[in-house]
Structure 1
Amino acid sequence: MIGRLTAALSRGRAGLMLAVQAGLAAGLAWFVAHDLFGRPMPFFAPIAAVIALGSSVGQRLRRTTELVAGVAAGIGLGDGIILLIGAGPVQIGVIVLLAVLLATAAGGGAPLIVQSASSAVLVATLTSTTGQLWTRFLDALVGGGIALVVMTVLLPLNPLTVVRRAADPALRAFTGGLYDAAAGLADADASVVRAAVERLRAAEGTFAAFSAAIDAARENVAFAPARWRTRGALAQYVEGSAQLTYALRNVRVLLRRAQTAIEDREPIPDVLPVSVRHLGDAVELLRQEWDRGDEPVGARQQALRAVTESGRAYQAGVGYSGGVVVAQTRTTVADLLRATGIEYAEATRQVRDAIGWRGRPHGARRKPGRSGSMPS
């Protein structure tokens, strides 16, 4: 019970800023439309403001544009069809059909489709006041505009806070999965490794939220002058998020091969679970260093330590799947290095140096280990 209450409070705290933004935008939208423009009942202005702010953080400019365009398209279609063929149930069906088709063909999202259809219905059903319905377009314009002013000038979200809040659970889940897998490898327990793979598969949802937060941060930094000073600190997250997603996918391949190696009773050198543990340490250090805004030096060192340990597995002796684990470790470490800001060529060089391949041609082959390991 206490855990649920704590989680609820945490979610409430996370949504507080958005709630304040929406409340302020709704009040301002009504004031501008009612008091400044003289609209007697501008009900759609605050609705448009709330929709623009809350429908999809990170794409608010596009959604606001779609909102206003949808209203205009629906009203235009409704008026045109009623002028040509009159009003009635058939006309309502035709108007909505065309409005949805037009919005979909234009590549619009849900706001454009919904607003086109609903505006067309209003025109078709309230033909006696069709001329006044163009004020709904003004309401949408006022509400959307006020929402943009609130989110970019009056109360812009702190993009660093948004990104850190999303990155933390993603990186913690990544780290936890690697630690679990290292323990399973050390004990030669395939079920533990399998559970770690499932845990990392489930972590894709947190990484999707991380990517959405990156989009929101880009939007805030681009349109909110008060947040321009955060651009430097955000660069680490923005430039590294895609590489972390690649690393997560490579680790899942790595662990599935590790599970196969255990099930096939291949030799599992002690250095392999140590290597996976170092990968987990690297991701955890990356989370901490990004959170502090530091250069991720510790994460780089730990990642290279992981590839060094994995390289020793060849001397200890690995089977086919074990060789794939070593190869995937190298690929994962290269992804992690790139996530820390290192360019591709330099990341590849550092991985080769760490595994002891400095100066070897790229196509060179390592001799098989005692168990016929497969180099890559």
Structure 2
Amino acid sequence: MTPQPPASSGSPEHDAKRGRRLIGRIRIDRSRVPARLRAPLHRLRVSIVPVLQCALGAGLAWWIATEIFGHTHPFFAPIAAVISLGLSAGRRWRRALEVAAGVTVGVAVGDLIISVIGSGTWQIMVVVAIAMSAAVLVDKGQLVPIQAASSAVLVATLLPPGGVEGFNRMIDAFTGGVVAIVVIALMPTHPVLRARRDAADVLATIADVLSDVAGGLRQMDQDRVRSALEHARGTQSGIDEMRTDLSGGKEISKISPLHWANHSRFDRLAAVADPLDNAVRNVRVLARRAAGAVENGEPIQPEIIELVADLGHASYVLNDMMLADPGQSPDQADGARVLRSIARRSGKSLVADSGLTETVILAQVRSTLVDLLMVCGLTRVSAMATLR
């Protein structure tokens, strides 16, 4: 047998081998952690900074209320700080203002009404109704009425109403909200890192789904393709989380002086959201069509199956690209190079004499290529131009 020369850098064979090497490395890294611990550890990893922010905010709000304002039981100060910060990265400054407004309205209404009509079952119903109605008039946010109602209930049941005490509670709520905003500004979550990880997780899911679809089509394994389809259908929560973290990152990059220089980098990442969402949708259609083909015993030509597999390999490269810091490899150029090598082999001639199923699968491969090329920084026109 005549030995084959090594594949040159940039060739389709070289890119495919590189993608497979990345697959092996990523799967080895994941295998070190038991499957049942991966999701909890991931949640802890992405939440550790918000947890520390909540702890710091609660303590600082309590200290300010007790040591500076001299309040003896500033219950609302740490509560307002914790609720304002929470574990979500999205729109925290808005939530801080809503908490402060809601508590203020609730305490004011509770003090005023309870001091006149007293406490009891019907009095609580009246106080809650009035507090929530007043909050709706004050602000359109959903959190304001809830905070107003809960604060009014506390005043009606546990906390004695009173002029000075009521005023102090308003100050405490305002203190907690201000402390929350200060903590966000001075101890922010990284506005880019969390959204990058979300995007990388979505890309890893795309890669897993495409790899399983390709394997199921080769072996006509109905269970494997069905499992891949269910996996693809469960990706919307990841997309939603990425968009939430992008919203929170945009907010942080505006209010935190530590990240004012990250505007351009954040804008580039924000441009990834729509193409990545579209890629996930195309992969779902591809997996659904593949599942139908296997269920009907309809074979798919090997060239198309290899395109699906290689697109999965490329998605792992993009997963690494998304996690890489500026200047590290793989970068957007590396990701686009791998995708272009697949695009060169995904011409319409592959399905010139094929039926609907192979045509749809190839069409979804081509559409996903365009979306992922846009994730790599290409414009839609440039991405579509690769599919001659």
Structure 1 and Structure 2 fold alike (TM over 0.5): yes
Q: Is the 8 A contact 1:214 1:238 kept in 2?
A: yes
Letter in 1 for 2:170: F
The within-5 A match list for 1:179-194 is 179-194=211-226
User: TM-score by structure 1 length?
Assistant: 0.82
The within-5 A match list for 1:101-250 is 101=133, 103=135, 106-109=139-142, 111-125=143-157, 128-153=161-186, 155-250=187-282
Q: Is the 8 A contact 1:178 1:276 kept in 2?
A: yes
2:22 alignment partner in structure 1:
none
Letter in 2 for 1:263: E
CA distance in 1, matches of 2:274, 2:62: 41
Of the structure 1 ranges 324-333 and 299-308, higher mean CA displacement relative to structure 2 is found in 299-308
User: TM-score by structure 2 length?
Assistant: 0.80
Q: Is the 8 A contact 1:61 1:148 kept in 2?
A: yes
State the 1:313 CA deviation.
5.7
1:69 alignment partner in structure 2:
101
1:291 alignment partner in structure 2:
323
| SS at structure 2 position matched to 1:159 | coil
Matched length:
350
| SS at structure 2 position matched to 1:310 | coil
State the 1:81 CA deviation.
4.5
| SS at structure 2 position matched to 1:309 | coil
Q: 1:340 aligns with which of 373, 376, 379?
A: 376
CA distance in 2, matches of 1:225, 1:265: 60
State the 1:22 CA deviation.
2.2
Q: Is the 8 A contact 2:85 2:180 kept in 1?
A: yes
Deviations 1:262-306 (A, max 9, x none): 333444111111111222122222222222236412322333333
Q: 2:312 aligns with which of 237, 261, 280?
A: 280
Compared CA separation, residues 46 and 252, structure 1 to 2 (3 A): same
CA distance in 1, matches of 2:263, 2:150: 40
Compared CA separation, residues 335 and 104, structure 1 to 2 (3 A): farther
State the 1:210 CA deviation.
2.4
CA distance in 2, matches of 1:297, 1:128: 65
Deviations 1:67-94 (A, max 9, x none): 0111122234335545876665323212
Of the structure 1 ranges 195-204 and 82-91, higher mean CA displacement relative to structure 2 is found in 82-91
Compared CA separation, residues 47 and 288, structure 1 to 2 (3 A): same
Compared CA separation, residues 8 and 337, structure 1 to 2 (3 A): closer
Letter in 2 for 1:20: L
2:336 alignment partner in structure 1:
300
Gaps of 5+ in 1: 354-376
The within-5 A match list for 1:11-90 is 11-79=43-111, 81=113, 88-90=120-122
Compared CA separation, residues 23 and 59, structure 1 to 2 (3 A): same
Deviations 1:305-340 (A, max 9, x none): 334433256357321121111222222222222222
1:367 alignment partner in structure 2:
none
Q: Is the 8 A contact 2:81 2:179 kept in 1?
A: yes
Letter in 1 for 2:66: H
CA distance in 2, matches of 1:191, 1:234: 40
Structure ranking higher on relative contact order (CA contacts 8 Å, 6+ apart): 2
Compared CA separation, residues 149 and 84, structure 1 to 2 (3 A): same
CA distance in 2, matches of 1:70, 1:201: 38
| SS at structure 2 position matched to 1:58 | coil
Compared CA separation, residues 176 and 23, structure 1 to 2 (3 A): same
Of the structure 1 ranges 166-175 and 136-145, higher mean CA displacement relative to structure 2 is found in 166-175
Compared CA separation, residues 237 and 328, structure 1 to 2 (3 A): same
Identity %: 36
Letter in 1 for 2:238: T
CA distance in 2, matches of 1:191, 1:222: 48
CA distance in 1, matches of 2:119, 2:352: 82
Letter in 1 for 2:178: G
